[in-house]
Amino acid sequence: MPYDFTPKGLGKGVGRVSKHKTASGETRHQYEILDEKIGANGEASSRLLQRTAEGDPYRAQTKINAFNFPFTGNSGGGCFFQCSYCFLRQPFFQMHRTLPHGREMDVSLNFGSATEAFLRKNAHLPQYMKRVQWGVATEMWHPRTVGLGKPFEGLRAFQKFGQNWMLHIVTKSPKILDYAELLAEMKHQVQVEVSFVTLNEEASRIFETGTPSVRQRLHIVEELSRKGVFVRVMMMPCMREYVLQTIENVRHIVFEHRDTGKRAAGFKRVSERDGNAGEDKVGLELYISKRWKKLPPGESCLWKPVILKDWSDLAQTQASWRNWGASAYKQKDLNYYYVDELIQAHQEARAPKPERGRVEDPTAECLVQSGESVVDENGNFRTVEVRGHHKPRREWSGAKTPPLVMRNIMDFGYRLHSNIDWVDCI
Ligand code: SF4
């Protein structure tokens, strides 16, 4: 087994049940093996689990920005597609019970009714909160699970009980095309985000061992767009291979000054996470003369990262996504890993090692109708005051109503397919 992983108490055999205890000792999850594949060595090579007792598949989020929506929904967990960069590999997100990432998925069999209950429970929320992102912890349209998790029953629940909710669906699976007609019926409220990391099929096999091909995913974009569904091309994470320098045992991206050509290693940071990464909020810390130096955002934008190779062909993607019919585009830097480690892990048939201290470059972000800040005629960010229902209760200062918060207005392209006023999104 090429992964560093300790199985959690399950032996072989279909039908065994696993119990997971929380820190307080309460049993919250139960899983039953629905299906498993046995490898040549007699060990399970992959398992499909059914959640027989589980909490709500919907989760409220405490920050909202271009990449985080007020709620997430998942018809299960895990993914057989085995992308090497997948954030679900990280311990914080690991929910696997019996096998490592890429070899185990679990499904809830009540996703449709849970969606209806979620929509009824949250019908009172203000419009800006009525947005859900599906499929952040799993591939909901995976061919092996879609008939069990039945995300299409969730779609019908939105169609019936949540007509004024926005539903963002993330996928790499052409199986979603089986429901293209239903999505077209719901085009005023769905945005389908098709995920890529490169347009090159050979590079895709390095970073995405088990996913559908690039060509198949482009077909999703083309087909759904042709039916009038709002489709976003997501080049996320983008595979920019940087020039790196090790400082105090941590590798950092090397930046170059646009005018002087001077180089120094460092990292860019967004100071305000509950908003959008406007240039005025991106600061840079550089290692110069053996000391860390903070540069203000105005100076920071003069420094650009030095890129060894762009495996995502970002210029080509940015020039092409409209031709495929898509209405929106977004890209974002890689979390947790550097590209060279992903390539090395692929060559050695092992899981990649996340890099401690890895800081993504926020200036790699490119958002087109995907959550970018909207500016007024004077070039200033447009803002709006809303009740911060997404804020955790501890920030309500004991009040019964959430505090008023000022938010940047974001452009998600909603105006192209919906008449609903989303308040902080257009
Ligand atoms: S398709 Fe998405 S969820 Fe599945 S392994 Fe790849 S990145 Fe992870």
Q: Tell whether ligand 1 has an atom less than 6 A from the beta carbon of residue 231.
A: no
Residue 24 predicted with pLDDT over 60? no
The rounded distance, in Å, linking the Cα atoms of 243 and 248 is 17
Residue among 72, 101, 134, 139 to mutate when testing ligand 1 (max atoms within 8 A of CB): 139
Q: Is ligand 1 within 6 A of the CB of residue 220?
A: no
Which atom, in ligand 1's list, is nearest to the CA of 170? Answer: 2
At 11 the pLDDT is 37
pTM reported for the whole predicted model: 0.90
Structural domains in the chain, sorted by start: 55-240+311-364 (3.80.30), 244-305 (no CATH)
Q: How far is the CA of 172 from the centre of ligand 1 (A)?
A: 8
Output the CA–CA distances (angstroms, integers) from residue 31 to 23, 54, 148, 222, 297, in the order listed. Answer: 18, 9, 14, 38, 49
pLDDT score for 2: 26
Specify the range with the lowest mean pLDDT, choosing from 16-20, 196-200, 317-321, 404-408: 16-20
Asked whether 81 lines ligand 1 (CB < 6 A), one says: yes
Cis peptide before 237 (omega within 30 of 0): yes
Ligand 1 probe mutation, 46, 176, 211, most atoms within 8 A of CB: 211
**pLDDT 10s digits, 155-209:** 999 999 999 999 999 999 999 999 999 999 999 999 999 999 999 999 999 999 8
pLDDT given at position 250: 93
Main-chain dihedrals φ then ψ at residue 28, nearest 5 degrees: -110, -30
* Spatial distance between the Cα atoms of 329 and 354, rounded to a whole number of angstroms: 27
Cβ–ligand 1 distance for 172 under 6 Å, the answer yes
**Nearest CA, atom 3, ligand 1:** 138
Query: pLDDT (tens digit, 9 = 90+) per residue, 215-225?
Result: 999 999 999 99
pLDDT at position 53 is 65
> Would you say the CB of residue 139 lies under 6 angstroms from ligand 1?
yes
Amino acid 14: pLDDT? 40
Give the DSSP H/E element, type plus range, for residue 177.
none
- 125-164 CB burial, b ≥16 within 10 A, e <16: bebbbbbbbbbbbbbbbbebbbebbbbbbbbbbbeeebee
Ligand 1 mean position, distance from CA 76 (Å)? 13
Mean pLDDT of the chain: 89
In the block, residue with structure tokens 């060990």 = 43
* pLDDT(291) > 50: yes
What is the residue with the minimal CA distance to atom 8 of ligand 1? Answer: 86
Q: What is the pLDDT of residue 10?
A: 36
Among 78, 80, 215, residue whose Cα is nearest residue 135: 78
What's the average model confidence in pLDDT over 360-373? 92
Q: What local confidence, expressed as pLDDT, does residue 3 receive?
A: 27
Q: Is residue 13 pLDDT above 50, yes or no?
A: no
Give the position, in ligand 1's atom list, of the atom nearest the Cα of 135.
3
Which of the listed residues 67, 83, 175 should we mutate to test ligand 1's pocket, taking the one with most ligand atoms within 8 A of CB? 83
In terms of pLDDT, which residue wins out, 328 or 269?
A: 328
Q: Is pLDDT larger for residue 98 or for residue 323?
A: 323
Taking residues 388-406, report their average pLDDT: 91
Q: Is the CB of 86 under 6 A from ligand 1?
A: yes
Q: Is the CB of 229 under 6 A from ligand 1?
A: no
Q: Residues 254-284: pLDDT tens digits?
A: 999 999 999 999 998 876 655 565 666 788 9
Atom of ligand 1 nearest to the CA of 79: 4
* Closest ligand 1 atom to Cα of 101: 5
Mean per-residue pLDDT, 136-151: 95
Contacting residues for 16 by C-beta, under 8 A, at least 6 apart: 10, 32, 33
Task: Name the residue with higher pLDDT: 335 or 202.
Answer: 202
Does residue 79 line the site of ligand 1, with CB under 6 A?
A: yes
| pLDDT the model gives residue 132 | 98
Would you place residue 56 in the very low, low, confident or very high pLDDT band (cuts 50, 70, 90)?
Answer: confident
Q: Angle formed by the axes of helices 151-161 and 111-121, to 10°?
A: 30
Q: Tell me, what's the pLDDT at 279?
A: 62
Atom 1 (ligand 1) nearest CA? 81
| % pLDDT > 90, the chain | 71
pLDDT band at 21 (very low <50, low <70, confident <90, very high): low
Contacts of 245 (CB under 8 A, 6+ apart): 251, 252, 254, 265, 287
Q: What is the tens place of the pLDDT at every residue in 63-92? A: 899 999 999 999 999 999 999 999 888 877
User: Cα-atom radius of gyration of the chain, to the nearest Å?
Assistant: 22
